[in-house]
Amino acid sequence: MVDRKAARRYARALFYQAQEEGEVATTREALDALAAAHQAQPALGPVLRHPLIPAERKREVLRQALEGATDGPVPEGLREFIGLVVDKRRTALLPAIAELFAALADAAARVVRADVRCAVPLTAEEQERLRAVLGGVFGGTPVLELQVDPSLIGGAIVRVGDTVFDGSVRRSLRVLAQDLKVSVLATTRQ
Protein backbone atom coordinates (compact mmCIF):
# COMPACT_ATOMS: atom_id res chain seq x y z
CA MET A 1 0.00 0.00 0.00
CA VAL A 2 1.33 3.41 -0.97
CA ASP A 3 1.72 6.01 1.78
CA ARG A 4 -0.08 8.95 0.11
CA LYS A 5 0.95 11.39 2.86
CA ALA A 6 4.61 10.63 2.33
CA ALA A 7 4.20 10.76 -1.45
CA ARG A 8 2.50 14.16 -1.10
CA ARG A 9 5.41 15.49 1.01
CA TYR A 10 7.97 14.29 -1.53
CA ALA A 11 5.92 15.66 -4.45
CA ARG A 12 5.61 19.08 -2.78
CA ALA A 13 9.33 19.22 -2.02
CA LEU A 14 10.20 18.31 -5.61
CA PHE A 15 7.64 20.77 -6.98
CA TYR A 16 8.98 23.70 -4.95
CA GLN A 17 12.53 22.84 -5.97
CA ALA A 18 11.54 22.58 -9.64
CA GLN A 19 9.63 25.85 -9.36
CA GLU A 20 12.68 27.65 -7.94
CA GLU A 21 14.84 26.28 -10.75
CA GLY A 22 12.26 27.03 -13.46
CA GLU A 23 12.12 23.33 -14.32
CA VAL A 24 8.49 22.45 -13.54
CA ALA A 25 7.58 21.50 -17.12
CA THR A 26 10.71 19.43 -17.79
CA THR A 27 10.51 17.76 -14.38
CA ARG A 28 6.89 16.89 -15.02
CA GLU A 29 7.69 15.43 -18.43
CA ALA A 30 10.51 13.36 -16.96
CA LEU A 31 8.35 12.13 -14.07
CA ASP A 32 5.52 11.25 -16.45
CA ALA A 33 7.99 9.35 -18.62
CA LEU A 34 9.36 7.55 -15.57
CA ALA A 35 5.85 6.60 -14.43
CA ALA A 36 5.05 5.33 -17.94
CA ALA A 37 8.28 3.30 -17.98
CA HIS A 38 7.42 1.95 -14.53
CA GLN A 39 4.03 0.83 -15.86
CA ALA A 40 5.39 -0.51 -19.17
CA GLN A 41 8.12 -2.54 -17.46
CA PRO A 42 6.45 -4.60 -14.73
CA ALA A 43 9.83 -5.94 -13.58
CA LEU A 44 11.01 -2.43 -12.66
CA GLY A 45 8.87 -2.16 -9.50
CA PRO A 46 10.10 -5.36 -7.81
CA VAL A 47 13.72 -4.48 -8.61
CA LEU A 48 13.33 -1.06 -7.01
CA ARG A 49 11.63 -2.46 -3.92
CA HIS A 50 13.92 -5.46 -3.39
CA PRO A 51 15.89 -4.94 -0.16
CA LEU A 52 18.94 -6.91 -1.30
CA ILE A 53 19.57 -4.85 -4.43
CA PRO A 54 22.07 -2.09 -3.59
CA ALA A 55 20.96 1.53 -3.73
CA GLU A 56 23.60 2.32 -6.34
CA ARG A 57 22.12 -0.29 -8.69
CA LYS A 58 18.62 1.11 -8.13
CA ARG A 59 19.87 4.63 -8.95
CA GLU A 60 21.41 3.29 -12.14
CA VAL A 61 18.20 1.48 -13.13
CA LEU A 62 16.17 4.66 -12.56
CA ARG A 63 18.72 6.80 -14.41
CA GLN A 64 18.53 4.46 -17.41
CA ALA A 65 14.72 4.39 -17.26
CA LEU A 66 14.62 8.19 -17.17
CA GLU A 67 17.10 8.71 -19.97
CA GLY A 68 15.44 6.05 -22.10
CA ALA A 69 11.98 7.53 -21.59
CA THR A 70 12.72 11.24 -22.07
CA ASP A 71 13.71 13.11 -25.22
CA GLY A 72 15.72 15.87 -23.58
CA PRO A 73 18.05 16.18 -20.65
CA VAL A 74 16.80 15.20 -17.20
CA PRO A 75 16.85 18.14 -14.74
CA GLU A 76 19.67 17.86 -12.22
CA GLY A 77 17.26 18.53 -9.35
CA LEU A 78 15.23 15.49 -10.38
CA ARG A 79 18.35 13.32 -10.54
CA GLU A 80 19.25 14.36 -7.00
CA PHE A 81 15.67 13.85 -5.84
CA ILE A 82 15.61 10.32 -7.22
CA GLY A 83 18.87 9.59 -5.40
CA LEU A 84 17.24 10.78 -2.18
CA VAL A 85 14.14 8.64 -2.79
CA VAL A 86 16.37 5.60 -3.34
CA ASP A 87 18.44 6.34 -0.23
CA LYS A 88 15.28 6.70 1.87
CA ARG A 89 13.91 3.44 0.41
CA ARG A 90 10.82 5.18 -0.94
CA THR A 91 11.01 4.04 -4.57
CA ALA A 92 7.56 2.46 -4.31
CA LEU A 93 6.21 6.01 -3.98
CA LEU A 94 7.52 7.17 -7.38
CA PRO A 95 4.29 6.61 -9.37
CA ALA A 96 2.25 8.42 -6.69
CA ILE A 97 4.84 11.21 -6.50
CA ALA A 98 4.59 11.66 -10.28
CA GLU A 99 0.78 11.83 -10.08
CA LEU A 100 0.80 14.33 -7.21
CA PHE A 101 3.53 16.44 -8.84
CA ALA A 102 1.36 16.66 -11.98
CA ALA A 103 -1.60 17.83 -9.88
CA LEU A 104 0.56 20.52 -8.24
CA ALA A 105 1.85 21.66 -11.64
CA ASP A 106 -1.71 21.83 -12.99
CA ALA A 107 -2.88 23.83 -9.98
CA ALA A 108 0.00 26.29 -10.32
CA ALA A 109 -0.71 26.73 -14.03
CA ARG A 110 -4.47 26.94 -13.32
CA VAL A 111 -5.15 23.92 -15.52
CA VAL A 112 -8.39 22.05 -14.84
CA ARG A 113 -8.40 18.45 -16.06
CA ALA A 114 -11.82 17.11 -17.01
CA ASP A 115 -12.54 13.47 -17.85
CA VAL A 116 -15.44 13.50 -20.29
CA ARG A 117 -17.32 10.34 -21.23
CA CYS A 118 -19.89 10.86 -23.93
CA ALA A 119 -22.11 8.62 -26.03
CA VAL A 120 -20.81 10.03 -29.32
CA PRO A 121 -17.71 12.03 -30.19
CA LEU A 122 -18.03 15.75 -29.45
CA THR A 123 -17.62 18.23 -32.28
CA ALA A 124 -15.00 20.95 -31.99
CA GLU A 125 -17.77 23.47 -31.28
CA GLU A 126 -19.22 21.30 -28.48
CA GLN A 127 -15.76 20.88 -26.98
CA GLU A 128 -15.22 24.65 -26.98
CA ARG A 129 -18.61 25.25 -25.33
CA LEU A 130 -17.79 22.63 -22.68
CA ARG A 131 -14.39 24.25 -22.06
CA ALA A 132 -16.09 27.64 -21.67
CA VAL A 133 -18.62 26.26 -19.16
CA LEU A 134 -15.97 24.41 -17.14
CA GLY A 135 -13.70 27.45 -17.21
CA GLY A 136 -16.55 29.52 -15.80
CA VAL A 137 -17.35 26.98 -13.08
CA PHE A 138 -13.83 26.02 -12.02
CA GLY A 139 -11.72 28.90 -13.30
CA GLY A 140 -8.48 28.28 -15.10
CA THR A 141 -7.92 26.54 -18.39
CA PRO A 142 -9.87 23.31 -18.86
CA VAL A 143 -8.15 20.39 -20.57
CA LEU A 144 -10.61 17.77 -21.80
CA GLU A 145 -9.75 14.09 -21.81
CA LEU A 146 -12.45 12.64 -24.05
CA GLN A 147 -13.69 9.06 -24.12
CA VAL A 148 -16.60 7.69 -26.15
CA ASP A 149 -18.90 5.36 -24.18
CA PRO A 150 -21.92 4.20 -26.22
CA SER A 151 -23.47 2.61 -23.10
CA LEU A 152 -24.46 6.13 -21.99
CA ILE A 153 -27.05 6.11 -24.80
CA GLY A 154 -26.80 9.91 -25.04
CA GLY A 155 -25.42 12.88 -23.15
CA ALA A 156 -22.17 12.92 -21.17
CA ILE A 157 -20.56 12.43 -17.78
CA VAL A 158 -17.94 15.01 -16.81
CA ARG A 159 -15.58 14.43 -13.87
CA VAL A 160 -13.35 17.21 -12.55
CA GLY A 161 -11.50 16.03 -9.48
CA ASP A 162 -14.16 14.77 -7.07
CA THR A 163 -17.00 16.61 -8.81
CA VAL A 164 -19.16 14.66 -11.25
CA PHE A 165 -21.77 16.07 -13.62
CA ASP A 166 -23.91 13.24 -14.95
CA GLY A 167 -26.01 14.38 -17.88
CA SER A 168 -26.29 10.97 -19.49
CA VAL A 169 -29.52 9.53 -20.84
CA ARG A 170 -28.75 6.33 -18.91
CA ARG A 171 -28.86 8.29 -15.63
CA SER A 172 -32.04 10.07 -16.68
CA LEU A 173 -33.67 6.71 -17.38
CA ARG A 174 -32.59 5.38 -13.96
CA VAL A 175 -34.05 8.46 -12.26
CA LEU A 176 -37.27 8.10 -14.26
CA ALA A 177 -37.54 4.40 -13.33
CA GLN A 178 -36.99 5.24 -9.66
CA ASP A 179 -39.63 7.98 -9.82
CA LEU A 180 -42.08 5.55 -11.42
CA LYS A 181 -41.45 2.98 -8.68
CA VAL A 182 -42.06 5.58 -5.99
CA SER A 183 -45.19 6.78 -7.77
CA VAL A 184 -46.56 3.22 -8.15
CA LEU A 185 -45.84 2.48 -4.48
CA ALA A 186 -47.55 5.69 -3.42
CA THR A 187 -50.71 4.95 -5.44
CA THR A 188 -50.95 1.33 -4.23
CA ARG A 189 -50.78 2.44 -0.58
CA GLN A 190 -53.70 4.84 -0.94
66-109 pLDDT, tens digit each: 877 677 788 889 989 999 999 998 888 888 999 999 999 999 99
107: number of Cβ within 10 Å = 12
The fold adopted by the segment(s) 4-107 is Peroxidase; domain 1 (1.10.520)
Confidence at residue 114, expressed as pLDDT on a 0 to 100 scale: 93
pLDDT of the residue at 185: 67
Rounded CA-CA distance 166/155 in Å is 8
Q: C-alpha dihedral over 59, 44, 40, 11, to 10 degrees?
A: -50
- Residue 27 backbone phi and psi in degrees, to 5: -65, -40
pTM greater than 0.95: no
* 168: three-class secondary structure by DSSP: coil
The domain segmentation of the chain, as residue ranges, is 4-107, 110-189
Position 1 scores a pLDDT of: 61
**Mean pLDDT, the chain cut into blocks of 10 residues (190 residues total):** 87 95 91 82 79 87 78 84 90 90 93 92 93 91 93 87 83 74 70
